[in-house]
Amino acid sequence: MEKITLKVNGMHCKSCKMLVEDGLGDLDGVEAVMVSYEQGTCDLNYDSSKVSLEKIKETIREEGYEVE
Amino acid sequence: MIVKKGFIAEGTKSQLDENTIKSLVMNIKGTKKCQFDWNTEIGYVTFDDSKTNLDKILDKIEQNKKYSCFLLDEDNDETNEKTIYIEGMHCASCEVLVERKLKKIRSINHVDVDFKKGFAKIKYDNEPSQKDIKRVIKSCGYKLSDGPVINQNKNLIELGGMLVIIIGVYLLMKKFNFFPDVSITDNMGYGVIFMMGLVAAMSSCLAVTGGLLLSLAARYSEKHPNYTGFQKLKPHINFNIGRILGYTLFGAALGLFGSIISVSTTVSGILTILASLLMIALGLQLIGVFKTTLNIRLPKKIAHKIHDLEKSDHKSTPFILGGLTFFLPCGFTQALQIYVLSKANPIVGALTMLAFSIGTAPSLLSVAAISSFLKGNVQKHFFKFAGVLVIVMGLFSINQGMILATSKIDYGTQPSIPTPIDNNNNNNNGVLDSNVKIVDGKQIVNMKIDRYDYIPSEFTIVEGVPVEWHIDASTAGGCAQIITVPKLDIQEFLSKQEDNIITFIPQKEGKLEFMCSMAMTTPGAHFKVVPNPDA
More confident residue, B205 or B164: B164
**DSSP bridge pairs for B461:** B529
Residues B270 and B180 in one domain: yes
Residues B336 and B290 in one domain: yes
Specify whether the CB–CB gap between B366 and B208 falls below 8 A: no
Provide DSSP, B187-212. S--HHHHHHHHHHHTTTHHIIIIIHH
Give the domain range for residue B513: 436-530
- Taking the C-alpha atoms of residue B218 and residue B288, their distance in angstroms, rounded to an integer, is 12
Please report whether residue B512 resides in a domain.
yes
Residues B197 and B271 in one domain: yes
- The 10s digit of each residue's pLDDT in B112-145 is 888 777 888 888 877 788 888 888 888 877 888 7
More confident residue, B285 or B300: B285
Residues B354 and B391 in one domain: yes
Residues B83 and B72 in one domain: no
Specify whether the CB–CB gap between B201 and B363 falls below 8 A: yes
Arithmetic mean of pLDDT, A24-45? 87
Provide the ipTM.
Answer: 0.72
Inter-chain residue contact A19 with B311, CB threshold 8 Å: no
The confidence band for B295, taking pLDDT boundaries of 50, 70 and 90, is very low
The answer, yes or no, to whether residue B160 has pLDDT greater than 80, is no
- The 10s digit of each residue's pLDDT in B360-369 is 888 778 777 7
Specify whether the CB–CB gap between B481 and B518 falls below 8 A: no
Count of other CB atoms within 10 angstroms of residue B23? 10
Residues of A whose CB is below 8 A from B301: none
**Number of domains into which chain B is organized:** 4
Pick from B91, B94, B100: CB nearest A22: B100
Apex A34 CA angle, A28 and A36, nearest 5: 135
The pLDDT > 90 percentage for chain B reads 0
What was the pLDDT predicted at B415? Answer: 39
Arithmetic mean of pLDDT, B431-460? 82
Nearest to B30 by CA among B9, B54, B14, B6: B54
- Suggest the residue from B86, B89, B90, B93 to mutate for an interface test with chain A (most A CBs closer than 10 A): B93
Start-to-end CA distance of chain A, whole Å, equals 21
Residues of A whose CB is below 8 A from B94: 13, 15
B301 in contact with chain A, both atoms CB, cutoff 8 A = no
The confidence band for B418, taking pLDDT boundaries of 50, 70 and 90, is very low
Q: How far is B314 from chain A (nearest CA, A)?
A: 10
* Residue that is last in its domain, among B145, B175, B202: B145
What was the pLDDT predicted at B424? Answer: 42
More confident residue, B413 or B121: B121
The confidence band for B239, taking pLDDT boundaries of 50, 70 and 90, is confident
Dihedral angle at the C-alpha atoms of B478, B480, B482, B485, nearest 10 degrees?
160
Please report whether residue B414 resides in a domain.
no
Residues B101 and B67 in one domain: no
Please report whether residue B412 resides in a domain.
no
The answer, yes or no, to whether residue A51 has pLDDT greater than 70, is yes
DSSP run (H or E) holding A44: strand A41-46
Please report whether residue B421 resides in a domain.
no
Give the domain range for residue A30: 2-67
Alpha helices in B182-299 (DSSP H): 190-200, 204-205, 211-223, 229-257, 265-286, 293-297
* Residue that is last in its domain, among B76, B103, B130: B76
Q: What is the DSSP letter of B420?
A: P
A-to-B residue pairs, Cβ atoms closer than 8 angstroms: 42
Arithmetic mean of pLDDT, B177-195? 62
Specify the pTM: 0.45
The pLDDT > 70 percentage for chain B reads 69
Mean pLDDT taken over chain B? 74
Q: What is the largest CA-CA distance in chain B?
A: 132
Q: Residue A44 maps to which CATH number?
A: 3.30.70.100
Inter-chain residue contact A10 with B304, CB threshold 8 Å: yes
What was the pLDDT predicted at B359? Answer: 85
Residues B83 and B52 in one domain: no
- The 10s digit of each residue's pLDDT in B50-101 is 888 888 888 888 888 788 888 776 554 456 788 888 887 877 788 888 888 8
Please report whether residue B23 resides in a domain.
yes
More confident residue, B299 or B252: B252
Q: Hey, which of B29-38, B222-231, B250-259, B334-343 has the most confident mean pLDDT?
A: B29-38
Residues B183 and B325 in one domain: yes
Arithmetic mean of pLDDT, B308-324? 63
The answer, yes or no, to whether residue B274 has pLDDT greater than 80, is no
In the 3-class helix/strand/coil scheme, how is B319-346 assigned residue by residue?
A: HHHHHHHHHCCCHHHHHHHHHHHHHCCH
Nearest to B272 by CA among B389, B400, B456: B400
Residues B69 and B114 in one domain: no
Taking the CA atoms of B146, B151, B154 and B159 in sequence, report the sign of the dihedral they define.
Answer: positive
Q: What is the DSSP letter of B181?
A: -
Q: How far is A62 from chain B (nearest CA, A)?
A: 12
Residues B229 and B260 in one domain: yes
Please report whether residue B420 resides in a domain.
no
Task: Specify the range with the lowest mean pLDDT, choosing from B8-17, B389-398, B509-518.
Answer: B389-398
The confidence band for B225, taking pLDDT boundaries of 50, 70 and 90, is low
Residues B249 and B349 in one domain: yes
Pick from B226, B303, B311: CB nearest A38: B311
The answer, yes or no, to whether residue B412 has pLDDT greater than 70, is no
The answer, yes or no, to whether residue B425 has pLDDT greater than 60, is no
DSSP run (H or E) holding A62: helix A53-62
Specify whether the CB–CB gap between A63 and A20 falls below 8 A: yes
Q: Residue B37 maps to which CATH number?
A: 3.30.70.100
Apex B525 CA angle, B521 and B526, nearest 5: 145
Please report whether residue B496 resides in a domain.
yes
What was the pLDDT predicted at B300? Answer: 46
The answer, yes or no, to whether residue B303 has pLDDT greater than 50, is no
- Taking the C-alpha atoms of residue B406 and residue B411, their distance in angstroms, rounded to an integer, is 9
* Residue that is last in its domain, among B120, B145, B170: B145
**Number of domains into which chain A is organized:** 1
Residues B231 and B378 in one domain: yes
What was the pLDDT predicted at B310? Answer: 46
